[in-house]
Chain A
């Protein structure tokens, strides 16, 4: 909502610095988004008449214009616009003038031709946004007249305000003025239009509200002797400043009243309204109407219409009028509608029809049902100078209007919710100037104020609504600041702390945290080698974002490919984020789980295994194993499931580790290996976590020995290690794979795995015999269980 300071001042005597006034408006919840000072610095800009136009001899984009700036002499100007004709009156910035934008006008040569000033666009004058051509003035402006005089412009301040949905009153100049006047403690005076009525309303003008739930009030007046023409400059200027384009005197008057008082109106050409009678009702499904914009529209039962005597729709309630009764240059009598529409109905109807207008916006928020008479008089007053006359007589019908019973407001509640200590009189002094009626203290129940809500505050219905108004006018900044007194401890949950530990472990391993979007496409899912089972976005903006990911793989692979294509191969990334599976039976929401994804470009599966081991250590989960099996989308001979045990001791797959399948890499145009780890962090947090219980350190020396086995490639190192651990028994303090050898000296298809075992007892020093005994047990167990041979 834009407002002019001069217009506000017609309602209340606002004084002082316009910027300070703007700050008060912001503090009242009408945030000032910009302040423009208009009409300043127009001195020296005069009306000039175009005498001659001719091409510039040496430039295509400039023409030479001779103008008469009031002295009858031809003055040559170079001009870059071509929209004017001989005889037009245009604004001329004369030599020595400094433009509103700061440019100084001097006599100068453009491609060898003198220019003795500058012809101006509306934007250059700060009078509008038009910069397509030179502003063409009304022919009535005499050459030589100062432009400010010719256009009736006085210096003014234009505020652009952001108005919240709960402030229907502030959708008008009068409403903003009322609010600001209360804050500035100056009196607010509502308009009192002076209109001389003339003649009688023609017989037969009638209104029937068929559907009372659609229309709360429908007031009609008739104006005769209408001459549709241009509006006076002061009306056109104000409309332009507030962002509406002047159209003709009748439409302009309607828009002017809407901006000024917040009441949208509709004007019908009386002679085109069949039977002069109006019926207000819900539309029938499939009913059609041609609207003002010449579009044939099909209505539903959720739209309201105004119909004529024959029940033909001639307007869509609160949204747009019909073409059949439109005002034209031949209109001589106007049927003026001032209505109040059910806000929710207008909201639905305008949204469905895609027709949001200044009028529908005001009806949606809830207009003032009691301003119709005043608004009609103001309309007539604006048109009176053109000869239009207001006929005596009003047709005024009412439907359902909101309940306006007084709202009991508990003072204890006011002060408790705000943290203030306001007395009853203080509250009354805050509410009364903004139109709320409050019964004097003591006339209601003890500690309670009965507050009557003004009709222009459709939004306000409850005690809390009223408390908000009290807070607003008391001033948020004047409410004493405190902090809740309760003693409490904050903290992260174990789950949240574990997530941070995982991140720190990843960062310590040199991985950067990535954040791809969680959206993928069905084709992405297939390319990644994942099952085609997912949750779909039904209204995506982009088809590439129509599926919720089921794995972090797609996003990280795209990030790897992106970086490789930007000369950054070998990137090491991780991500922690949600993945979404189809919901289990009987559940509406997806199976949403938090995963960790790790992609190591240029690294092989063992790199990912290393990350897994560091991670398992960082979050202290033990008792897991890698089960080397093919995993969908991963390299079939270089992938494993990570298997843990749930609380009942059953196997639980919590993730996968390995390398991305080369076929998948091809699809993402990745030419380096990519090691991969994906872990279900929700599953991890549900596992038993090792708690560090102290074990006494043995004071007896330990004893180490090494064993190397020839092991077929098909036998996993993990299974050898498992056999060693089982066979060695309780004397085994540690076992470590310290060397893997493939090459000469070994049978084909085998490799050598060398383990170092450390034995230690808590209660004694081990003897050579102890070590020999464990050694032979281990060798026997490994050779028995596997096709493994001890190497000499």
Chain B
């Protein structure tokens, strides 16, 4: 009997090795190890053997079953691997064979810059305020310590609209009227920035547009000093432009601030060593700033002995142009796809 078992085992091993498909292996599994298999038949006859023989035959039978089982598993695994390989080989895709149906759109360069500026200031604890683009003379000039026929009105070429008395309603020439509205609508402490669109009666050229964008900041609180202004702008400068870029303030004049200053930063291209962009000075003029003028506080009914504050402002368009090396501001407003899709 043991010899027979060995013979079955040997034959089975050969047949398993010859099986060509997973299905053939499964069929062999049933035939060789199932209820109707010869080995199973032997199992039923074991009962009729004496103890010694039964032990020897039983061992041979178990060994044969294990051997056959292992051979089946091994062959099945081998075939599965081969089949997967064939499947994978057949499924080759050229991943560079890609025709984009449509690309993601682009935010306008001014929007990108504005969002970044807002994010930096929000991180510094500022909220974002907005206001109308068509304003009254009072908000745009009077309340900002620029009374009628003040020579400083010549600093802005103003576009007027046909509402109210002649020259009483205008397209705001700066975002400063929003400062007045923020102070009127709320009360200190105020930590706000005012980004937005402004208008000037200017002919478009490489560095001027009748429409452009500014961002201003206003802080009003107890004990705010010029040192706070300088420190806040320095913190903003390194947060926005990177740690290698620093700021400086130079005396200047604006009707709505006193003391007033020009806000310069290290040239972002040469980092202060001097290059063509900064005319070898190592500095770029960014904007203006200063301590809120007492007359501005008076216009909104704040007591300048109780509150003090600072304001600053600069152009968004110019920052965007500088950052990307665009040398003509008109490109921002031509809406040419070849420009828009670059950023």
Contacts and interface: CB of A to CB of B under 8 A. Distances in A.
A492 B333 contact: no
Contact of A589 (B102, B104, B132, B332): B132
Contacts of B214: none
B105 A508 contact: yes
A419 B203 contact: no
B261 A476 contact: yes
Interface in B155-182: 159-164, 166-169, 171
B338 A479 contact: no
B337 A481 contact: no
B160 A539 contact: yes
Nearest to B120: A490
Nearest to B262: A31
A417 interface: yes
B150 to A, nearest CB: 8
B291 A417 contact: yes
B249 interface: yes
B124 interface: yes
A347 interface: yes
Contacts of A541: 201-203, 210
Given A482-B227, A484-B232, A563-B335, 7 more contacts: A419-B225, A468-B258, A476-B226, A477-B249, A519-B210, A537-B160, A539-B160
Interface in A476-505: 476-477, 479-484, 486, 488-493, 496, 500, 503
B255 to A, nearest CB: 9
Given A416-B225, A472-B251, A514-B335, A539 B104 contact: no
Interface string A334-369: 000000000110011001000000000000110000
B259 A467 contact: yes
Q: What's the interface size class on A, roughly? A: 35 or more
A592 interface: yes
A489 B133 CA distance: 27
A536 B162 contact: yes
Contacts, number: 233
A511 B132 CA distance: 27
Contacts of A108: none
A637 interface: no
Contacts of A189: none
Given A164-B253, A535-B134, A588-B164, A481 B107 contact: no
Interface string B276-299: 000000000000000101100000
Nearest to A464: B258
A526 interface: no
Interface of A: 26-29, 31, 164-167, 343-344, 347-348, 351, 364-365, 416-420, 462, 464-465, 467-468, 471-472, 476-477, 479-484, 486, 488-493, 496, 500, 503, 506-519, 535-541, 545, 548, 559, 562-563, 566, 568, 571-574, 577-578, 580, 583, 588-590, 592
B318 interface: no
B111 interface: yes
Nearest to A465: B258
A486 B136 contact: no
Interface string B322-343: 0000000000111111101100
Given A509-B105, A566-B338, A481 B231 contact: yes
B235 A490 contact: no
Contact of B228 (A419, A467, A589): A419
A348 B225 contact: no
18 contacts: A29-B252, A165-B152, A364-B151, A417-B291, A472-B251, A488-B189, A489-B125, A490-B126, A496-B130, A518-B197, A536-B161, A538-B167, A541-B202, A568-B336, A571-B337, A577-B197, A589-B135, A589-B136
Given A481-B234, A517-B210, A535-B161, A416 B308 contact: yes
Contact of B251 (A476, A516, A536): A476
A476 B230 contact: yes
Ranked nearest first, the 8 interchain pairs of A and B with the lowest CB-CB distance are A419-B227, A29-B251, A419-B225, A164-B253, A481-B231, A559-B335, A513-B108, A468-B259
Interface stretch (B15-23, B43-51, B216-224): B216-224
B189 to A, nearest CB: 6
A512 B221 contact: no
A563 to B, nearest CB: 5
B115 interface: yes
A572 B152 CA distance: 44
B260 interface: yes
B128 interface: yes
B191 interface: yes
Interface in B268-282: none
Contact of B108 (A472, A509, A515, A545): A515
Interface string B230-252: 11101100000000000011111
Contacts of A480: 227
Given A165-B151, A468-B259, A28 B228 contact: no
A120 B227 CA distance: 53
B35 interface: no
B110 interface: yes
A462 B149 contact: no
Contact of B336 (A418, A489, A562): A562
Contacts of A418: 225-227, 259
A479 B227 contact: yes
Contacts of A559: 335
B29 interface: no
A207 to B, nearest CB: 28
B92 interface: no
B111 A562 contact: no
Given A480-B227, A484-B219, A510 B259 contact: no
A417 B260 CA distance: 12
Given A31-B250, A578-B133, A512 B341 contact: yes
Nearest to A420: B227
A507 B167 CA distance: 40
B336 A488 contact: no
Interface in B114-128: 115, 118, 121-128
Contact of A492 (B122, B134, B210, B211): B122
A342 B160 CA distance: 29
Contacts of B291: 417, 464
Given A483-B231, A488-B125, A496-B128, A590 B219 contact: no
A559 B149 CA distance: 40
A273 to B, nearest CB: 31
B232 A515 contact: no
Contact of A419 (B123, B226, B336): B226
B103 interface: yes
A748 to B, nearest CB: 35
A513 B250 contact: no
Given A476-B251, A540-B159, A589-B134, A490 B121 contact: yes
Contacts of B124: 490
Nearest to A489: B125
A537 B167 CA distance: 10
A517 B106 contact: no
Nearest to B317: A515
B163 to A, nearest CB: 6
A479 B230 contact: yes
A515 B248 CA distance: 33
Contact of B122 (A419, A490, A574): A490
A571 B251 CA distance: 48
A258 to B, nearest CB: 19
Contacts of A472: 251, 259
A489 B192 CA distance: 11
A515 B335 CA distance: 6
Contacts of A540: 159
Contact of B149 (A344, A477, A489, A545): A344
Nearest to B171: A537
Contacts of B135: 589
Nearest to A592: B132
Contact of A347 (B151, B197, B225, B230): B151
A164 B102 CA distance: 53
A539 B201 contact: yes
